[in-house]
Amino acid sequence: MAGWSCLVTGAGGFLGQRIVRFLLEEKELQEIRALDKFFRPELREEFSNPKHRTKLTILDGDILDKKCLKRACQGISVVIHAASLIDVVNAVRRETVMDVNLKGTQLLLEACIQADVPIFIYTSSLEVAGPNSFREIIQNGHEEEHRETRWTSAYPYSKKLAEKAVLAADGWTLQSGGTLRTCALRPMYIYGEGSPFLYAQMTHALKNNGILKYDTKLSIANPVYVGNVAWAHVLASRALRDPEKAPTVRGQFYYISDDTPHQSYGEFNYTLGKEWGFCLDSRISLPVSLQYWIAFLLEIVSFLISPIYKYQPSVTRHLVTLSNSVFTFSYKKAQQDLGYEPLFSWEEAKQKTIQWIGSLVEQHKEALKTR
């Protein structure tokens, strides 16, 4: 596909901006359109002054704006749909999460059909596969197991339905008579510089004398570096543009992990933060089964009083399960079909992330001085 063009949604986000940077290095890519509702000023400046041969166009727009999506897709060869509303604590209205993650995806698929965009790559989530129970142990899982979340919480449910919609759209007839090719990528827990989850964990700890929360002792996760996830998207775009590889990749989903050591979320945060004086909370935490039933009771209370008061429990059964499960997956299928190999080693990813956490520590110190 000589002289191709690409639209990236969520291009101002943690993952999206890195996908854009990788795409700028792609041969024969004539234009990148970076769509998002918000771009940080420094990122807008970076994208407005690219030192590359590829044209980079910033589009300020909403994933729910049909007219915006129609304009954004005109003349585009590949759509990478990374825009998403991530909410694992149910802090956002359910309708809002469902609209952005599911309806937005459906509208974008329709825009692709109308604009004759032949390739659609969806950034899915590990959560579409589970975990469904903290008692179930899944290690080095793979795509052939066809795992599916049973949670109805807005985030995993919306991502599951959106992924199904994308994969079911493979083979749809485009306006001009061509055929739509789709695939989905399911990254593990994504970390790296600018991670909103790491930022929340570290800033909370800084306000608590450097003590990191450690209520996830029983979990085993395989975090994946953001640069490797972005790279996987580029490889997926190459595969779906390749006449030989495309038939194998079409309509498929792929787990994306790397060589980051498998460990609990708390231990992982400690590994990244110990150089800056962070330590794990040594207090004894409640048994996971007790946490689960407390969460269940809080959910019942929330439901019972919902007609008169909107009460959002601080913890839910879904969150307890997510935070305390053994749930890891292999990237062998992505390796086989997409040619995926982690671009960044664990040591590289670790050092980059540790340096960024160090900058958060320095900012905190400066803030204390100005008080």
Residues with active-site annotation: 155
**Which token pair is 50?**
């690219």
CA distances to 89, 140, 308, 312, 317 from 299, in Å: 12, 32, 15, 8, 8
How many degrees, rounded to 5, is the angle at CA 278 between CA 272 and CA 282?
Answer: 110
Q: Count of CB atoms within 10 A of residue 245's CB?
A: 17
Q: For residue 263, what are the β-bridge partners?
A: 221
DSSP three-state, residue 224: strand
The DSSP annotation for 282-346 comes to -SPPPPHHHHHHHHHHHHHHHHHHTTT-----S--HHHHHHHT-EEEE--HHHHHHH----SS-H
d(CA 221, CA 327): 6
